[in-house]
Amino acid sequence: MWGESYPDAYMRGCPGMAEREPDVRWSVELPYGCRLPAYYNGGSGSDGTRRPEGMWDWNDVQPFHVDAEVNPFTGRPFFKEVVFYHSRSRTLLTTDTY
């Protein structure tokens, strides 16, 4: 696994990944529904209760959690994605969403 090749790397997963992939050495799991800092408090900043302790500054790298598909039988999302926006470089970081 790639995480074992980089033992000093922070392993961060989208919501539900720690339960789905228990063998991965996760550092932290992003919270369900995490959004850009301006989303909270009428645009005045991030909601500190939604940012796990030890996470980066969400004003610098802004996360956005998406439930892209919902299982029609259970009503629960089965494709979760987190995209990131790096404000200083104005770069959008995506994975499967692309």
Kindly report, residue by residue over 65-93, the tens digit of the pLDDT.
877 777 788 877 677 788 888 888 999 98
Judge whether 97 and 83 are in contact, CB under 8 Å: yes
Q: Closest Cα to residue 88, out of 49, 46, 57?
A: 57
The pLDDT assigned to 89 comes to 94
The pLDDT assigned to 46 comes to 47
The pLDDT assigned to 38 comes to 66
Judge whether 64 and 83 are in contact, CB under 8 Å: yes
| Mean pLDDT of the residues in the chain | 76
Both structure tokens of 88? 């200083």
d(CA 54, CA 28): 9
Whether residue 35 has pLDDT greater than 80:
no
DSSP 10-42: --EE-TTHHHH-TTS--SEEPPTT---GGGSGG
Q: What is the pTM of this model?
A: 0.62
Higher pLDDT, 71 or 98: 71
